[in-house]
Amino acid sequence: MSIANPELDFRVILDQICAEMQAAPHRGEAAQYIPELASIDTNQFGMAVALADGRVFVGGDADRRFSIQSVSKVFTLALALGRLGEDLWRRVGREPSGLPFNSIMQLEHEEGIPRNPFINPGALVVTDAILAGHAPREVLGELLRFVRAAAEDDDIHIDEAVARSETEHGDRNMALAHFMAAHGNFRNSPALTCGTYFHQCAIEMTPRQLAMSGRFLVGGPNMPGLIARDQVRRINALMLTCGHYDGSGDFAYRVGLPGKSGVGGGILVIAPGRASIAVWSPGLNQYGNSHLGTLAVERFAQATGWSVFG
C-alpha cells in the first residue's frame, strides 16, 4: 500500500490551484433546470484533500455548503450493494452510457434497464431498490447516517428548498421512472422513488465534509470500513468509467482517477490508497460536470503525479 508522498507540499499545491481558479475567466453556467440552483454565484471555488494518514488540506471556499446532487449516487450505490449484493445488477448495467445523464433514448432501446448506476435512470433504480418497502424517511435517515459516519461529522443535512425545487420541476426524472415502471423495472411508485431521489440529491456538504466522507472509498488501514474491500474496488471502477456520464472518458484521460460529479458543481475524486479529494465550483461544462472543478483536479493530479495508471 503506497501512502502519500511526504515530500509533496499540499498547501502550496492547493494555494496555486485556488489562485488559478479564482482568476479563471471562463467558469461555466450553474444548472438552470433546478431553479433553486440556477442563480448560485459561479465565482465560488473550494477544494479539500483528506489524506490516508489523517491530514486534511483545504483551499478557497472549502467550508461553504453546496448541493451534492449526483455525488449522492455513490453513497446510495454503496448502500444498495451492501444490501442486495450482485442481485442489483439484474436491474442496472455496468457500462458507460456515452449519453447525457438524463437521456431517455438508450433506456427505450434497452427496454428499461439503465446502462449504469450513475446516470439518472440507473440511480433511480438504485434508490428504488433500497426503498424496498421502507418509508422514504427511513431510507433517507439511513443514508444520512452513512454519510455522517463516513465524514465523521453529524452536521450534514438535506436542503428542503432544493428538494422541493427539483420535485416541482422533476418531469424528466418522473418520465424516466414511469418508463422503467412500464418495463417492470420499478418496485415503488415513480412519485415515491423520485421524491426520495430528489431528497438524496439535495444533501448539502462543504468540500471539507465531502472529502472526509469519501475516505471509505480510499481503502487502506486507517480508512472507515463501511463497506467490504471488494465493493470499494468495484465502486471506484464504476466511478472511473461512468462517474462523469458522456464526459467520463475525457475525465479519465485528463485526471486519471475515479471521480463522481454532480450538477451542484461538486466532484468527489478518489486516489486509491492515498486520499479522498473534493472540489466545488458551480459553473458546469457541456456534460453537466463542474468546469473549474475538473480543471482543478486535473492540475492536482499533474502536481502530485497521482493516477491509477501508474
Residues with active-site annotation: 70, 73, 197, 245, 263
Write b or e for each residue in 124-135: b if 16 or more Cβ atoms lie within 10 A of its Cβ, otherwise e.
Answer: bbbbbbbbeeee
Our CB check for ligand GLN shows the closer of 10 and 101 to be 101
Any idea which residue has 485528463 for its cell? 254
Where residue 113 falls (left for φ over 0; alpha for ψ -120 to 50; beta otherwise) is beta
CA angle centred on 72, ends 67 and 77, rounded to 5° = 175
Q: Which three cell numbers stand for residue 212?
A: 472526509
Residue for grid cell 499533474: 302
CA angle 107, 93, 294 (to 5 degrees): 90
Which residue lies nearer to ligand GLN by CB, 275 or 284? 284
Chain position whose Cβ is nearest to ligand GLN:
70
Amino acid identity of residue 98, one-letter, is: G
User: 267 vs 275, which CB is nearer to ligand GLN?
Assistant: 267
- Nearest approach in angstroms of CB 102 to ligand GLN is 6
Measure the CA–CA gap between 74 and 77, rounded to whole angstroms.
5
Helix, strand, coil shares of the chain, percent, nearest 5, are 50, 10, 40
3-class SS at 205? Answer: strand
Between 173 and 188, whose beta carbon lies closer to ligand GLN? Answer: 173
- Nearest Cα neighbor of 58 from 95, 91, 11 is 11
| Least separation in angstroms between CB 100 and ligand GLN | 9
- What span, in angstroms and rounded, lies between the C-alpha atoms of 85 and 95? 18
Least separation in angstroms between residue 71's CB and ligand GLN is 7
Q: How many residues bind ligand GLN (CB under 6 A)?
A: 11
By C-beta, is 44 or 120 nearer to ligand GLN?
120
Interacting positions 201-220 with ligand GLN (CB under 6 A): 201
Binding mask 60-89 for ligand GLN (x = CB under 6 A): ---------xx-------------------
Residues 91-120 that bind ligand GLN (CB under 6 A): 101-102, 120
**Cβ proximity to ligand GLN, 281 vs 304, nearer residue:** 281
Strand order in the sheet with 203-205: 66-67, 203-205, 157-158
Nearest approach in angstroms of CB 239 to ligand GLN is 14
The binder of ligand GLN chosen from 103, 173, 281, 285 (CB under 6 A): 173
Is 288 among the residues that bind ligand GLN (CB under 6 A)? yes
Is the CB of residue 277 less than 8 Å from the CB of residue 49? yes
CB of 245 vs ligand GLN, minimal distance in Å: 7
Count of CB atoms within 10 A of residue 228's CB? 12
Query: Which 25-64 residues touch ligand GLN, going by CB under 6 A?
Result: none
- Please report how close the Cβ of residue 235 comes to ligand GLN at its closest, in angstroms: 17
Residues that bind ligand GLN (CB under 6 A): 69-70, 101-102, 120, 166, 173, 201, 262-263, 288
